[in-house]
Amino acid sequence: MGPLMPSKTKYRRILLKLSGEALMGPGEYGLDDAAVDRITDQIVAVHRLGVEVCLVVGAGNIFRGLSGTASGIERASADYMGMLATVINALALQSVLESKDVVTRVLSAIPMETVCEPYIRRRAIRHMEKDRIVIFGAGTGNPFFTTDTAAALRASEMGCDALLKATQVDGVYSADPKSDKAAVRFDELTFHEVLSRDLKVMDASAIALARENNIPILVFSIHNEGALEEVVTGNGRFTIIREGSKGGG
Ligand code: UDP
């Protein structure tokens, strides 16, 4: 038996996936102080509710493997560059979170022992049990993957009750709502629907992994104030992706 469910929340342990873009704010590159400040406030608020929190962070604000290949860098090397960039974001989040009086650990899938801890599954779980926020860096540690897949993998390994995917919009749409006015928003979807309709939420390997391990994915906008807390308490606006109730999902 794990610890008791914190009273106000629906989840005991969550994994929050933050894209690099979320940390970039209105800028075009790197980290935006105000965006990082707002996001870390939300993480601290949820942690104060008694939820165990771990994070997977992307690197789209610094470097993406595919853009590297466009400049002639070999794909695997470009992907390693992307993974290293996630560690930069992880260290930034760690510092800002710790300035807000929470204890954190960065665990990297690529060992960098002078910078942070290597990823060890049981150690990561132990950190969360001790009330530390765990930040997973370097994705899965393998090229040809994304941090979305890393998020589904770590959520599975950590036995998380939910994977929260922070995006720029308030859920999953049938098309990009920023460019297509006819885009329809979904409150609820099954994993099967996401895959068969090729909805652009997370890549297919991430969806398949979450489905196999029965971890619901909640897609929401991190830009709305208090959004994370609302999602964790079962309120607010989000799209939930889970197994279909009739067994068809
Ligand atoms: N990456 C990788 N393996 C992983 C995770 C990430 O090779 O397991 C690389 C890949 O090149 C990717 C980059 O790291 O483009 C940054 O991650 P991602 O694009 O997922 O970041 P996000 O879009 O979430 O900001």
φ/ψ (deg, to 5) at 113: -65, -20
Angle between helices 147-157 and 121-129 (to 10 degrees): 70
**Terminal Cα-to-Cα distance of the chain (whole angstroms):** 28
**Predicted model pTM:** 0.95
Beta-carbon-side half-sphere exposure of residue 57 (alpha carbons within 13 Å): 32
**CB 117 near ligand 1, within 6 Å:** no
Provide, rounded to the nearest whole percent, the portion of the chain with pLDDT above 70: 95
The pLDDT of residue 148 is 98
Pick the atom of ligand 1 nearest to 60's CA.
25
Handedness of CA 19, 72, 79, 149 (dihedral sign): positive
**CB 79 near ligand 1, within 6 Å:** yes
Ligand 1 pocket test, pick from 86, 136, 140, 167 with the greatest ligand atom count within 8 Å of Cβ, gives 86
The pLDDT of residue 178 is 87
Give 59 Cα–ligand 1 centroid separation in angstroms. Answer: 6
Angle at 110 between CA 72 and CA 55, to 5 degrees: 105
The model's confidence at residue 183, banded by pLDDT at 50, 70 and 90, is very high
pLDDT tens profile 217-230: 999 999 888 999 99
